[in-house]
Structure 1
Amino acid sequence: MTSRFWWIFLLIGLVAVNFLASVFHARLDLTKEKRYTLSKATRGLLRSLEKPVRIDIFLTGDLNAGFRKLANSTEEFVSLLKDRNSSKVQYRVMSPMEAIPGSSRLYRDTLEALGAVPINLTDQTETGASSNIIYPVALVSYNDQQELVRLYTGNERFVSQADIVNSEAAMEYEFARVIDQLVSPRKPFVAYSIGNGEPMDARTYGIQEALDKDYRLALLNINSQPVNADTFDVLLMVKPSLQFTESEKLKIDQYVMNGGKLLLFIDALIAEQDSLKMNAATIAYDRNLNLTDQLFKYGARINPSIVMDLQCDFMPFVVGGTPENPQREFLHWNYYPLFEPQANHSITRGLGLVAGRFVNSIDTIAVEGVRKTVLLASSANSRILSTPVRIDVNENRNAPQDASFQKKDIPVALLLEGTFTSNYRHRVSNAQRDSLTAMGVTFRDHSEENKMIIVGDGDMALNDVSPTNGPLPLGVNIYTLRSPYQYQFANRAFLLNCLEYLVSKPAISETRNKNIVLRLLDSKKVKENKRSWQLINIALPILLVVLAGIIYQYIRKRKYAE
């Protein structure tokens, strides 16, 4: 009787445990970097959902090991989202080659129309090379709106294991950012300044293309129009060439004091590659933009100097031949440095090389209440040339003297955060106050918590223009086009990351700080101890089974012999 009741209680207990497990979900994250823990911002975002969110994952098919790992990580992460709000989050894994229900179109067509970039995975097999087109994206649908989530954030042409790991680390940010955009669909307003000789030609195509989807972009002449922080979220200033008046500087200053964000790409020197087409040498000299005192007050100074770096892009140079038939060769051009982004901030985490041209160094100034973060800096083999600078194409006929490139980590892009003090504090006139009032701006001598980004290169945000192909993608060097050295650098991603950080919710931006450590085996030790590990993993389990069988037979024989 007792035995019967024991089985009944056990059955009831199993049913109860299964019922509770189906209702309540719990997970213990023991990873050091909290890989399976959602941030507070993401949890709050999921709680605020009023309508269901559907996530379609299209990273499927014949994947290599790296993308298979990324696909598994994606499904694990989305399951975390569903566990947080199972009634509002649904997901499924789909093939991009499936037809859309009720239509003859494939999901692939919709993904490409939304901006998805397919990746051609090429693998060597016994029968030859095989290729497979994959779409490393997810499609998030909410309230009759759809947005793509990039599951792979690296370079599509050169897939690496490090890029796979960085993509896993950025996954929470990518999903949180897209869901937040769908829940709060307002597009930030970016004002492109045109009051001081900023480019307005085809070189700005890359900016327009990058901002077209997620931002509203407008031209703003700060000389004749008001600069109102209530209207524009970001004031984008790219390569101004004319001196700023005090009236213009006051507008910019009060824009910052009232909460507006600045993104500046400034060339302090006049140094252009076109000047070297006519002459073998040119002199770079100060533009005298009259911004030094204002930026100094905020905590930065763009120096009238040029950064040269051994880590740089290529340029074609004439190295021999005749005037009628010159012999050209691609050589490193130290005035085109390539910056490896600092991994200390979410803006640059996981970003590839960013290309610059005739870049100016930036100094940080000790200002109370302002925090500085270096976003881009030179390599360990760089130098600074102070103005006036003579730039000569003949420098590349001989290898650069490495002994001259002894400086390292020269800042060229800086993030400033904190409370800024007005450059016109205690010195604004009544006439200036009246002019601000007429534009609907109230003079303030300091700001609330604010942020701005200053870059010592105007060309970093501009694209090249080919006479035959028109505007090139941002980050592509026209001089290496259709050469073995053609490459698209991460300038576009850097521009977008800067804008996203300036306008996005701080809590969501912080989700980019998640870091996943790639813990690889020591290949040297693996090779040295290969035989030992093979014995441990193959022979030892067999020996243990045989030994257990011998002991069992011995015990059994003794037991029944007695």
Structure 2
Amino acid sequence: WVNLFPSSQRSISSTDLNNAEATMEYSFVRSLDKLLNQQVKAIAYAVGNGEPTGDEITDLRQTVASAEYRMLPFDLTKFPYVPKEANVLLVVKPSTEFTEAEKLKIDQYVMNGGKVLMFIDNLFAEQDSLTIKSQLVAYDRNLNLGDLLFNYGVRINADLVMDLQCDFLPFAVGGTAEAPQYEFLKWNYFPLFETPNNHQINKNLGLVAGRYVNSIDTVEAENIRKTYLLQSSSNSRSISTPALISPNENRNTAEDALFKRNGIPVAVLLEGAFSSLYKNRIGRAQQDSLAQAGGFKEQSDKNGKLIVVSDGDMVLNDVSAKQGPLQMGMNLYTAGSKYQAPVANGNFLLNCLEYLTSKETIISTRNKEIVLRLLNTKKVEAEKSKWQLINIALPIVLVILFGIIYQRLRRYRFAS
């Protein structure tokens, strides 16, 4: 079956209609392709470097499975290479340092045509820490991925993005220690990112929620095309580390004048012919370990693809004591309240996987701009009664008038 309107919201806006219309062709083509090509695509979920494996990836598993992908854990620390049968290597929020041997496996997977999707937290800054302490200091995780990503053309900065377009958290604003009074206030470290609508991945996509996100820069890399996929709003800023984070920041009015930056990038797509970081650096022992995978390669083909997102929490879910695991991107504190923000984290993840694994002809059908010519709502409201009268009463009057004229003509005809 084909879902032509993928939304569970009761109210439908003109934007929702535009998005549904624009993706209709893509939905049909994608469904037909699945019927003709029923091979299940495999995703290798990297473990071994502190990646989450518990309840926080419940929705990640379900979202991936709903799109008919098969996701299996892959331990980079134990296997000599990433198998070519894996369509995508998914790296989500690692917390421990990558060794050179592990980076070589990722590098050679890319050189052999593998696609990589990374959600990386460059800094340690966890919301749980603020529930225990009154403040925290964000510091570098020392993942040792900087040189690998830099070689491919991207750099994750050691900073935090703050945005006035953000999610809410409850803060104690009064009361006593025994009975504090809470109020929902904006928390600038939980940005709601906009999409530039410049690519098939982010076309017709809503807001994407992030938490303690780093900014991204691109650097010069030969034969590599870079496309920003997510960015901050026009009222944002970034602060460098070491950064002191405290709930006290929200007890006073935010200094909006500081939020002057526009479009800070936090996700980037890299495409092209990648060069190996380990070119002219690999030893004999490392070459032997890669022999089973076809040997060491210095460069990938021109169809290499890599997506880097500077937020590891973007595809993780909160866990509620009552409801269990929530949807990815949904805020535990605002879920079910008027402050809950509609987010498209799951759709962003699926669009990334779709682009990395699908045929170019299929994914290109997403890249369409269709504008529905909707009625002027103000004019409709002002002239509502007039048009109701014209559309309901006028046809009845015309039928009656026609009947009277017909009867008169009939009588005149037979009388004569």
Pick the aligned partner of 1:486 from 328, 340, 343: 340
Instruction: Report what 1:159 is aligned to.
Output: 12
CA offset digits 1:7-35 (Å, max 9, x no partner): xxxxxxxxxxxxxxxxxxxxxxxxxxxxx
SS state of the match for residue 367, structure 1? coil
User: CA offsets, 1:443-492, max 9 Å, x none?
Assistant: 11110121111000000010001122211122211011232212441111
Pick 1 or 2: higher relative contact order, CA cutoff 8 A, min separation 6. 2
Instruction: Give the secondary structure class of the aligned counterpart of 1:473.
Output: coil
Q: Which runs of 4+ in 1 moved over 4 A?
A: 520-524
For the Cα contact (< 8 Å) 2:231–2:267, is it kept in 1? yes
Equivalent residue for 1:196, pick from 39, 43, 49: 49
Are the aligned partners of 1:461 and 1:491 in contact in 2 as well (CA < 8 Å)?
A: yes
Q: Percent identity?
A: 54
Task: Output the CA distance in 2 between the equivalents of 1:324 and 1:363.
Answer: 46
Which residues of structure 1 form unaligned runs of 5+? Answer: 1-138, 140-148, 539-562
> Counterpart in 2 of 1:446?
299
Structure 2 gaps of 5+ residues are 392-416
Provide, for residues 85-122 of structure 1, a one-character-per-residue CA deviation record: whole Å limited to 9, x for no partner: xxxxxxxxxxxxxxxxxxxxxxxxxxxxxxxxxxxxxx
1:205 to 33, 46, 58: 58
Q: Which residue, out of 263, 267, 273, partners 1:419?
A: 273
Aligned match of 1:125? none
Aligned to 1:273: 127
Does 2:300 match 1:462?
Answer: no
For residue 457 of structure 1, what is the amino acid of its counterpart?
A: D
Q: 1:470 to 1:520 in 2, by over 3 A?
A: closer
Q: How many residues of Structure 1 are paired with residues of Structure 2 in the alignment?
A: 384
Amino acid at match of 2:65: D
**Residue in structure 2 matched with residue 171 of structure 1 by the alignment:** 24
Q: Residue 414 of structure 2 aligns with which residue? A: none
Q: CA deviation at 1:228?
A: 3.2
2 CA distance for matches of 1:445 and 1:488? 44
SS class of match (1:237):
strand
Give the secondary-structure state (helix, strand or coil) at the position aligned to 1:177.
Answer: helix
Shift of 1:519: 3.5
* Among 34, 44, 47, the residue aligned to 1:181: 34
Q: Is the 2:81–2:293 contact (alpha carbons within 8 Å) kept by the matching residues of 1?
A: no
* C-alpha contact 1:465 1:471 (8 A) present in aligned 2: yes
Q: Distance in 2 between the 1:481 and 1:154 partners?
A: 17
Q: Contact 2:82–2:106 at 8 Å: present in 1 too?
A: no
- Cα distance between partner residues in 1 of 2:308 and 2:79: 23
**In the alignment, is the contact (CA less than 8 A) between 1:416 and 1:453 conserved in 2?**
yes
Which residues in structure 2 correspond to 1:49-198 (within 5 Å)?
139=1, 149-154=2-7, 156-198=9-51
| Amino acid in structure 2 at the alignment position of 1:405 | F
Task: Kindly state the Cα deviation for residue 282 of structure 1 after the two structures are TM-superposed.
Answer: 0.4
Counterpart residue number, 1:79: none
For 2:210, which of 351, 356, 374 is the aligned residue? 356
- The residue identity in structure 2 corresponding to 1:180 is D
Give the alignment partner of residue 300 of structure 1, picking from 141, 146, 154. 154
Q: CA deviation at 1:522?
A: 6.4
| Residue deviations 1:264-320 (CA, integer Å, cap 9, x gap) | 000000000011011111000000100001101111001111000000000000000
Q: Which amino acid aligns with 1:251?
A: K
Q: Distance in 2 between matches of 1:171 and 1:466?
A: 35
Task: Report SS of the residue matched to 1:235.
Answer: strand
Q: Residue 127 of structure 2: SS of its match in structure 1?
A: coil
Instruction: Determine the C-alpha separation between the residues in 2 that align with 1:405 and 1:155.
Output: 34
Quick check: 1:154–1:167 contact (8 Å CA) kept in 2? Answer: no
Aligned to 2:353: 499
The alignment partner of 2:266 has SS state of: strand
SS in 2 for 1:416: strand
Tell me the secondary structure at the aligned position of residue 478 of structure 1: coil
- TM-score, L = length of structure 2: 0.89
> Against the structure 1 CA distance between its residues 464 and 424, is the aligned structure 2 distance closer, same or farther, given a 3 Å change threshold?
same
1:475 aligns to what? Answer: 329
Look up the equivalent residue of 2:62 and give its one-letter code: E
Inter-partner Cα distance in structure 2 for 1:444 and 1:224: 21
Give secondary structure in 1 for the equivalent of 2:300. strand
Find the residue that maps to 1:453 and give its secondary structure.
Answer: strand
Corresponding residue SS for 2:308: strand
Q: Secondary structure at the match of 1:290?
A: coil
Corresponding letter in the other structure for 2:367: N
The answer for the alignment partner of 2:78 in structure 1 is 224
1:31-81 CA deviation, whole Å, 9 max, x = no partner?
xxxxxxxxxxxxxxxxxxxxxxxxxxxxxxxxxxxxxxxxxxxxxxxxxxx
- Provide the C-alpha distance between the structure 2 equivalents of 1:505 and 1:283, rounded to a whole number of angstroms: 44
Question: Partner of 2:115 in structure 1?
Answer: 261
Q: Max radius of gyration: which structure? A: 1
Root-mean-square deviation (CA, aligned residues, Å) is 1.9
Contact 1:475 1:491 in 2 (8 A): yes
Cα distance change of structure 1 residues 428 and 157 upon mapping to structure 2, 3 Å threshold:
farther
Q: Which range is displaced more, 462-471 or 192-201?
A: 462-471
Alignment partner of 1:212: what SS?
A: helix
